[in-house]
């Protein structure tokens, strides 16, 4: 079975500062990796995904993530955050396409002006 650990439940950061949200996963087989964002009172929106190939994945809104197989990590980064990035971020894994997602507990990113 797969599992996902998001190491930080809350991350406060000042506007225009860089941020890294950490995600580690556990699986005995290859997995697909995803980052979703949830704005207040909304559903989840996909930020980026890693299926195979290049380990550096670029997503929407200036976010990127790096897949590290040896460390079983998929950390999310943004070089300069905006107030509008304040949201809950979820890391998730799946065995393949069209299979259920296993989510981490989420990281609440708070951007401070």
Partner 1 sequence: DSGVTQTPKHLITATGQRVTLRCSPRSGDLSVYWYQQSLDQGLQFLIQYYNGEERAKGNILERFSAQQFPDLHSELNLSSLELGDSALYFCASSGLIGGGEQFFGPGTRLTVL
- Contact footprint for partner 1 (CB under 8 A): 32, 34, 36, 42-46, 49, 51, 90, 94, 96-106
Shortest Å, Cβ 87 to partner 1: 14
Q: Which of 69, 103, 72, 81 is nearest to 20 (CA)?
A: 81
Toward partner 1, which CB reaches closer, 36 or 81?
Answer: 36
Least separation in angstroms between residue 17's CB and partner 1 is 27
> Least CB distance from residue 111 to partner 1, whole Å?
22
* Torsion angle of the four alpha carbons 25, 10, 66, 51, in this order, in degrees rounded to the nearest 10: 50
Question: Helix, strand, or coil here: 110?
Answer: strand
Instruction: Name which of 15 and 101 has its Cβ closer to partner 1.
Output: 101
Angstrom distance (rounded) from CA 90 to CA 58? 16
């Amino acid at each position: 079975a797969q599992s996902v650990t998001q190491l930080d439940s809350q991350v406060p950061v000042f506007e225009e500062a860089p941020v890294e949200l950490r995600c580690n996963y556990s699986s005995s087989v290859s997995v697909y990796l995803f980052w979703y964002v949830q704005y207040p009172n909304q559903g989840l929106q996909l930020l980026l995904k890693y299926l195979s190939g290049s380990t550096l994945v670029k997503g929407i809104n200036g976010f990127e993530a790096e897949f590290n197989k040896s460390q079983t990590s998929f950390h999310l980064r943004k070089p300069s955050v905006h107030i509008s990035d304040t949201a809950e971020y979820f890391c998730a894994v799946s065995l393949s396409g069209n299979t259920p997602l296993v989510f981490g507990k989420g990281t609440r990113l708070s951007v401070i002006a």
